[in-house]
Amino acid sequence: MQASSNKSIPSLSLRIDLDSKGRIGPGKIELLESIQACGSISAAGRAMDMSYKRAWDLVDEINRICRQAAVARQTGGKNGGGAVLTPFGVSLVARYRKIERDASTAVHKELEALRNDIRHPKKSAERDKDTRAR
């Protein structure tokens, strides 16, 4: 849900806290999508300008906090193997994106109102004054 232009700012960014130490947010989901597109953790990391170690640490964290593998490594082969999303990983990405779309739809009017308040501060201040007077 990243803003594509200043016109769409502010925007909503979604993070789901799965437990007190584990969360899934746009960065981890983007990494999973990149692994799916690139076919390897290292290529996905490079595409996102992160080291293989950082990408692998995030994959390991995703697998740990979800208590099941979202990514499976493939060994061997002509090009030395790679990685794929497990059925759970595909489902995790799809579910996160659906939650994200639903949340964005739910708050769309409020984000537009906030954008207007930011663009027109005097009108916002006058509105607040009117609200307090009621």
pTM surpassing 0.75? yes
Burial class from Cβ neighbours inside 10 Å (0-12, 13-18, 19+) for residue 4 reads exposed
What percent of the chain is modeled with pLDDT above 70? 81
Q: Are 56 and 41 in contact (CB under 8 A)?
A: yes
Q: Is 76 helix (H, G, I), strand (E, B) or coil?
A: coil
* Residue the block writes with tokens 């906030």: 114
3 pLDDT band, cuts 50/70/90, is very low
Q: What CA–CA distance (Å, rounded) separates 36 from 11?
A: 26
Query: 48-68 pLDDT, tens per residue?
Result: 999 999 999 999 999 999 999
Residue-range domains of the chain with CATH: 14-105 (1.10.10.10)
Query: 61-98 pLDDT, tens per residue?
Result: 999 999 999 999 888 766 667 999 999 999 999 999 99
Predicted confidence at residue 11, as pLDDT, reads 85
Mean pLDDT for all residues in the chain: 86
DSSP state of 48: T
